[in-house]
Structure formats: structure tokens, C-alpha cells
Chains A and B, each alone.
Chain A
Amino acid sequence: MSWVEVELQMVAVIVAVTCALPGVFLVLRRMALMSDAITHTVLLGIVLGFLYTGTIESPVLMIGAALTGVLTVALVEVLVRTRLVRQDASIGLVFPALFSIAVILINRYAGNVHLDTDAVLLGEIAFAPFRRLEIGGVDLGPRTLYVMGTVLLLNVGFITLFYKELKLSTFDAQLAAALGFAPAALHYAFMSLVSVTAVGAFDAVGSILVVALMIAPPAAAYLLSDSLRNVLLLSVLLAAACAVAGFWLAWLIDASIAGSMASMAGIMFVLVLLFAPARGLVPIAVRRRRQQVSFAGVMLTIHLLQHEGTPQAEEESREAHLRHHLRWPGAFARRVLRYAETSRLIRRSDGRLLLTDSGRSVARQALGG
């Protein structure tokens, strides 16, 4: 591994982790698509900052970008308040409009600088190691690392400091308001943080991939755990894993690193969606199947108990008759019999099914006896 590769992975991991933290609350507060809106509208802030300062390196651009992020949130809220347009439509109206203004401004006044829409939307992490932070001639590493490091500290600080408030206003906004927690103020503070994170990150990975990193790891973590603390921890771990895996995928096929990170986030999400222990689709299907079989097993014991000791017992306990009587398809009947036998509810003797003692008691219990 060369030093550049190490640096790239460090940048990738720190960007992913920084995005995942506020992402957890975006997912839980049903504001996930605000990240999509903000990552697009910050372009307007950057353009305005550029037109004001005349340079692309000024911190004014970052401040302008973060402010337009907050402006986006406020405009969406204003539209929703009129009660003429719903929340989803408001987002869909505000961000394309602000983005359009930004694109037009670039085309008219900033056509010759490096500020094209492709770079903003797609981003390229591979350039990060070329932009160094030097102080007094000493090379301190990629600048993105420091920018994102600061944003990460900000995120961790905010979430630790306002953990209780965030938690309450996320899960019970009314209670939070009743207790005097000022959910509106907290909301805007949090959305400012999301804007700052988006601005810092999209410089490195582009706006669409900020969305991937903000939503996919937290959504996967939310399927894995019910505790907010664990969801936060898991999101961070998953995000870091996506970053490293994505970097190596990109290296392997020589493709966009940011795109590979997003693809990895997608693969990871699908794996969690399928196999999460409690909520995964496969475990749920398996559990349902098992319940079906064990329920049918109880049915079988009841059936056998009903006819035990009667003149029909001979016929009713034949396997073939059973299929006909209970209308079980062949494969299912076989599975039920195997289950009943292995859990010692029944035993076979020359083609007939006989209840065991425990089978009898299971049947009596099921009948409420």
C-alpha cells in the first residue's frame, strides 16, 4: 500500500463517518431527502460566495454554502406552512429552483473558472491528496482530512451535548415541546449541522454520494438495532467499512472512488435488508415457515388424539389418509411428519402414526385442557 492510498482511505473513512452521524437522525426524523435537497442547493451558496470574493479558495464560500443549506430548510418550511403544498412537493419545488439559479449564474458569470456542475454533482475523492495543508512550508497532509476532521468533531460534539434533546425531539416532538426543549431551535441547529457536513463532504465525494453516505449506513443500522446508541455506533462502523471496501473496489476496476463507496453502501444495505437477524427478509421468511410447520404439528397431535381409542383410529392414523383428510400438500405433510417425529410428538409403527406421551400432552394443552 502506498502512502497516497493510505491517505485516500483515511479521507474516505472520515468523510463516510462524518456523514453517517447526522444521517441517523435524518433517517429517524423522516428528513432523509432533505440531504438530497441541501447537497444540491449548497451550489448556490458557493457560486454567490465566489462572485462576492472572486476566488474559489475562500472560506466565505463554505459559509455561504452552509447558509443556503439552512435557507433551503426554511423555504421548504415556509411552503409547507401555506398548507397549499405538501412537504414532499415543497422539497421537490425548492431545490431544483435554487439549483437552477446556481447553474444559470455559473453559466453567465463564472463560465471560465473551475466550478462546473459535473464536479459538484460527481466529485472526485482521488484529487484529495493533491490539495495539501501546508503551514510554514511543512506538509501536514491532505486539506480535506482537516476540514472533515473539524466537521466530525463538530458533529460528535453536538450529538453528545444535545443527545437527550435530539432523542426526545426525534421520537416524541410534542413531549419535547411540552417540556420546553424548543424543538424548532434544535431543528434548525441540527439542519445547519447537516448543511455544514454536506458542504464539507461534497467537495470530496460529490453531492449524490453524500446522500448515499448519509442515508444507507444509518438505514441499515436501523434495521439491525432498536437502541439509538447502537444505531449510531453501527452506522459509524458500517460507514467506515463501506469507505474502505469502496476504495479497494475502485482501485481494482479503476473506476470512481465515490461511486464505488456508494455501490458498497448499497450492497451492504441489501445484505442487511435480507439477512438482519431480527428484521431481515430471509430470517422473517424462515421464522414464518417454521411457525407454520410447528402449528401444523400441533394440529396433527390434536387429530390423532381425537381418534385415539375409537374404531376409526386404525384408518385415521394412516399417513396417506392424513394427507387427504387435512388437505396438506405432499411436501408439506412430509415436513410436518419429520418435525413431529424429531420433536417426539409422534412415532411410527407399521405404517401408522401413534401419539407419544409428550405428543398427547401437547394436544391436550392446545385444546385448553
Chain B
Amino acid sequence: MFPQIFHDLLFDYTVRTVALGAGVLGMVSGALGSFAVLRRQSLLGDAISHAALPGIVIAFMLTGSKAPIVLVLGAAIAGWLGTLLVMTIVARTRLPEDSALGIVLSVFFGFGLVLLTFVQQQPDAAQAGLDRFLFGQAATLLASDVVVLVTLGAVALFAVWLFWKEFKLLSFDRDFGVSLGYRMQVVDVLLTTFLVLAIVIGLQTVGVVLMSAMVVAPAAAARQWTDSLRTMVIGAALFGALAGVVGAVASAVTPNLPTGPSVVLTASALVLVSITFAPHRGLVWNWIRHRRNTERIVSRARVVSE
């Protein structure tokens, strides 16, 4: 069976395209998700991916085109506006961040739904397939989609490398950054912009709901193995890529196993393994340390009492 999988991965067009797409997506969202998870903004991904819907529909209404680059652009603008709105609400009112995220997520999505149902009344069938962005259909990925994915993903990763110092400051000590004279607000918007980019390129592969998992899961798994940001970001990118490829291949060789959920469950499994077995932080490690400590104390107590 195994040689067959490798054969498909190398020579079957669909399997190769989907696995490559999901792998790149996992890599980019893992790397950028690390910052979101560290900044306690894990659910920003969820909000952005929902907020992208009206952007997708409006982009289609304005251009009449369903080219991936047009729709991704629309999605990015809407997702970006949504994030800006969340930031405004949190900064200017007493509403907690989770409420702000919830409002933006649901209202943008509802508005997108209105637009989508409105567009769908049009007599021509050009709008058909717009909703694949909602639920994600990795199996319909084309080589040209993957080219877009790889290009935008490379831009996002390059930005992480370029603004490494600023993003690190923002994640750990924003006030220190301000005191050094950095414009942290600008850095914040910049980081968010690239997170938006990472999310919208993933929408058509795994869909709205599952995209939020791709931001959180690889980063949460990588976090368990290290205390260094560099290792965590690289680890999250690798975990993400692994989840993407393994999930895609598993879905290709198993009948009736949709790609998106398969990728997400692979990533979830990585998290489970990490929090159980990771050295120093993991549950098993902690349990052993706890037992050793107990034994040591008990044996010392015995020595003392004799």
C-alpha cells in the first residue's frame, strides 16, 4: 500500500496538487499562527476567515471574475477591515475582545450571506462555485491555484523573516517596543495583514471553520516543544506542512474522507501528541517529575524519622 501512496504523491496530478497546496497552506498558517497564539489572539483567525465572505462576493460582483487572485484580494480587504474594526472596538469601548471578535465574525458573515443569496438570483450561472470558498474543496484545487498559494505564502513568510525583530517585540513586550521608538501600532497592523493573507489563501482549501484550526493547532503543538520563538515558528511551519500533506494524502487514499477535516484532525492529533509527550512541558514529563519529587521527599522523610 505504501509504495502506491508515494507513487500517487509523485505522479497523480490531483493528489500531488492537493497535497502541495495543503502543505504550503499549513506551513504559512503555522508560522503566522505562532504569533497569534502567543498574543492570545488565537480566535482572530476564526473571525478573519468568516469576515472574508462579503469581500469575496463583492469582489465577484465588481469584476464578474472568479479568478483566485481577485477573490483572495476581496477576502483580504474584508478580513483586514474586520480586524481593524475589532481593534477599534477593543480600544475605544469597554467591550471585551471576545465579544468584539464575535460581532465582527457573525455580522460580516451574515452580510456576506445576504450578498451571496442576492447574487445567486442573477439569471446567469457565473456565480456558481463562489461558496466553495466557504466550505473549502481541496479536491478542486488546480495547479494555477497552487501557484497563487505558493506566491502569496512566500510573500508572507518573507515578511516574517524581514520584520522578525519587530514582530517578536510586538508579541512579547509591546511597551518596550514603544519606548524604543518603534511604531507598534503600525507593526501590529502589518502582522495582522500577513495573518489575513495566510488565512484567505487557505479558505478554498479547508474552508472557513477549519481554517481557524490551521492557525491555532500547529502553533499550539510547536509551543510545547520549545521556549524559543525561532524554534516555535519553524516548528509550527513544519507541523503545519506535515498536517497538510498527511491529511491530504489520507483523504486521497480513503473513500469519503473530505480533505479539510482530514487535515484538521491530523493537526489536532499533533497537538494531542505534543501536549502529552513533549519534554519539560508535556503531561507525561510532568507526571514523572511529580512522582520523582514525591519519592525523594518520602525517602528523605524516612531517613529523618529513622
Query: A-side interface residues toward B, CB under 8 Å?
Result: 27, 30-33, 35-36, 40, 79, 82, 84-86, 88-89, 91-93, 95-97, 99-101, 103-104, 107-108, 111, 117-118, 121-122, 208-209, 211-212, 214-216, 219, 222-223, 249-250, 253-256, 258-263, 265-266, 269, 273, 279, 281
Contact = CB atoms under 8 A, between A and B. Distances in A.
Contacts of A269: 103, 107
12 contacts: A33-B102, A35-B102, A89-B216, A103-B261, A104-B265, A117-B135, A121-B209, A208-B113, A214-B102, A253-B114, A259-B117, A279-B94
A339 B45 CA distance: 49
Given A84-B275, A104-B261, A212 B213 contact: no
A91 B114 contact: no
Contacts of B98: 30-33, 88
B114 A96 contact: no
B135 A215 contact: no
Contacts, number: 204
A152 to B, nearest CB: 20
Decide if the interface of chain A is mainly helix, strand, loop or mixed. helix
Contacts of A40: 209
Interface stretch (B17-25, B34-42, B141-149): B34-42
B89 interface: yes
A212 B107 CA distance: 6
A211 B209 CA distance: 14
A104 B92 CA distance: 42
B265 A97 contact: yes
Nearest to A265: B107
A88 B46 CA distance: 11
Given A91-B43, A254-B118, A255-B118, A96 B212 contact: yes
Nearest to B45: A92
Contact of A99 (B94, B113, B210): B210
Nearest to A35: B102
Given A92-B216, A111-B256, A101 B265 contact: yes
A88 B40 contact: yes
Contact of A33 (B101, B111, B118): B101
Contact of A219 (B46, B95, B108): B95
Contact of B260 (A86, A100, A111, A250): A100
Given A33-B43, A89-B216, 7 more contacts: A30-B96, A85-B220, A86-B42, A108-B257, A111-B256, A209-B106, A259-B114
A27 B95 contact: yes
B217 interface: yes
A81 to B, nearest CB: 11
Contacts of A263: 107, 110-111, 114
Contacts of B260: 100, 103
Contact of A273 (B89, B110, B209, B220): B89
A121 B110 contact: no
Interface residues on chain B, size class: 35 or more
Given A93-B268, A219-B95, A260-B114, A211 B261 contact: no
A216 B106 contact: yes
**Max count, chain A CB within 10 A of own CB: residue among B93, B223, B224:** B93
Decide if the interface of chain B is mainly helix, strand, loop or mixed. helix
A212 B212 CA distance: 18
Contacts of A258: 110, 113
B99 interface: yes
A283 B224 CA distance: 47
Contact of B275 (A31, A82, A214): A82
A279 B89 CA distance: 12
B224 to A, nearest CB: 6
Contact of B220 (A32, A89, A117, A212): A89
**Max count, chain B CB within 10 A of own CB: residue among A96, A104, A216:** A96
Contact of A208 (B101, B110, B135): B110
Contacts of A99: 209-210, 261
Given A32-B96, A32-B98, A208-B50, A215 B106 contact: yes
Contacts of A85: 220, 223, 271, 275
Nearest to A123: B113
Contacts of A27: 95-96, 99
A42 B113 CA distance: 21
Shortest beta-carbon contacts, A-B, top 9 = A262-B110, A266-B107, A259-B113, A96-B213, A100-B261, A212-B106, A92-B216, A259-B114, A211-B106
A141 B240 CA distance: 50
B257 A259 contact: no
A211 B105 contact: yes
Contacts of A250: 114
Interface in B193-222: 209-210, 212-213, 215-217, 219-220
A219 B212 contact: no
B163 to A, nearest CB: 23
Contacts of A255: 113-115, 117-118
Interface in B70-118: 89, 92-96, 98-103, 105-118
B258 to A, nearest CB: 5
Interface string B266-293: 0010010001000001110000000000
